[in-house]
A and B are shown apart, each in its own frame.
Chain A
Amino acid sequence: MQHFLEYLGTLLHLVGMLLFVGGHIWFGFLTALTERRQDRDGARFLATQLPFMATVFGVGVLLLFGSGVLRLFVWGEPGLIFLPDPYGWLLLSKLVLYMIIVVNGVLIERRYLPYVFQEYPGVSGAGTDLRLTAAWAQVKVRARLNLLLLLIVVALGEALRYSRL
């Protein structure tokens, strides 16, 4: 049973990484592409997909955290994160960065996501057009910050493999 939970935790952690880290990489890549090509339609398309992406990222976060904690419980070390060994300090750093990432994600979702579009009167006078606002720039900046932090977390995760307890 312990082995099954261990492997399940690893599998779910990988799926969470695919959704969350992979999603951020693709989002960062595509937004950079729209900026370079001055592609307003592309940027608008990305902005319309933000709620869906937020859902996917949210599922990824839950999978990552849930599977991580599951493995910690399976290993059953007092204190859970193996402090004061180097492994524990690396894990502590990961968790602190994880918390910053989640808070940043919540800020993106609550503070900027609802305001990415603003309605303007249509050019023809009939109906309205949706235009991207400054909130879109904030979403991009904060998503890139999250991507940077995520890559550090991934690097710390790799360092965990080689750290001596």
Chain B
Amino acid sequence: MSRTHRHGARRPPLLSAVSHLLCVLALLACSTPVLAHHGGLGIEGDLVQWALKVDQWQDESMAQGHRVKFLSYPRQPLVGNRTRLVFEIQSIATGQYVSGLTAQLEVQAPDGSQRQLPLPETTGVTAYYETAMVFAQAGDHTIAFRSLGPEVPFSTSFRKAVSRSTLRGDWPTLLGYGTVLAAFLVTWLGFVVSVQGRFSTMRAGSPAGSADSC
């Protein structure tokens, strides 16, 4: 009994992998920017940040049977800059996303002043509620999500630090800048010392001993 092997009809694995990769790249290049998905917030036209997942949920809270996820974009809000505040509501019991809520946002500034904003559901994305605001003060803000619906009213709050500039942020920001600066200084020092060593004359003798250690 003979078995026919159609080697000629099959593409080699490498060629197949390359063609798949090209297809994926083509799809990515042609894809329409997406505003929101259930992993967080898509940043339009920014495949790099999308791929990096810098758009993931940043905080989460439970309130009366609901899981409320929250993110801000940019992650570190700046005074005077527009910041998107996005929420996603999910039922803890069923896991289903909850849409159709009448939601409101209450933002309390560090000086105690409060501001209320309507929080409409994002069109076309189930259970996404988003608004944008410009923070006027630096410091810790309390952002309260309130569902005002007739069925199950619930509320929960999150804290968000607002900075005056990207250089004057909270401790993670400063630690990040400090670490990169330290790494730069060490690299620069190493480079300078290395170049100096090239120009210095070879010194005779060994302080480490003269035994053949090979």
Contacts and interface: CB of A to CB of B under 8 A. Distances in A.
A77 B75 contact: yes
B212 A164 contact: no
B175 interface: yes
Interface stretch (A20-28, A108-116, A150-158): A108-116
Contact of B190 (A81, A106, A137): A106
Contact of B52 (A43, A75, A79): A75
A98 to B, nearest CB: 6
Interface string B44-64: 001111001110100000000
Contacts of A159: none
Nearest to B39: A164
Nearest to A104: B190
B9 interface: no
A18 interface: no
Interface residues of A, number: 53
Nearest to A3: B48
A75 B76 contact: no
A88 B58 CA distance: 14
A81 B177 CA distance: 8
B19 interface: no
A99 B208 CA distance: 25
B163 to A, nearest CB: 7
A3 B207 CA distance: 51
Given A75-B49, A103-B186, A165-B53, A136 B176 contact: no
A84 interface: yes
A85 to B, nearest CB: 8
B187 A102 contact: yes
A135 B205 CA distance: 11
A78 B84 CA distance: 16
Given A84-B172, A136-B213, A118 B180 contact: no
A69 B184 contact: yes
A6 B49 CA distance: 11
A74 B49 CA distance: 10
B206 A109 contact: no
Nearest to A5: B48
Of B47, B186, B205, most A-chain CB atoms within 10 Å:
B186
A164 B53 contact: yes
Interface string B184-200: 10110111011001000
B193 A109 contact: yes
B32 interface: no
Given A115-B208, A165-B53, A40 B214 contact: yes
A135 B208 contact: yes
A98 B186 CA distance: 9
A88 B53 CA distance: 13
Nearest to B207: A115
A141 to B, nearest CB: 10
A124 interface: no
B180 A95 contact: yes
Nearest to A98: B183
A86 to B, nearest CB: 11
Interface of B: 46-49, 52-54, 56, 74-76, 163, 166, 169, 172-177, 179-180, 182-184, 186-187, 189-191, 193-194, 197, 202-214
List 9 tightest A-B contacts by C-beta distance, closest first: A79-B176, A83-B172, A79-B173, A137-B213, A134-B209, A115-B206, A81-B176, A43-B214, A84-B172
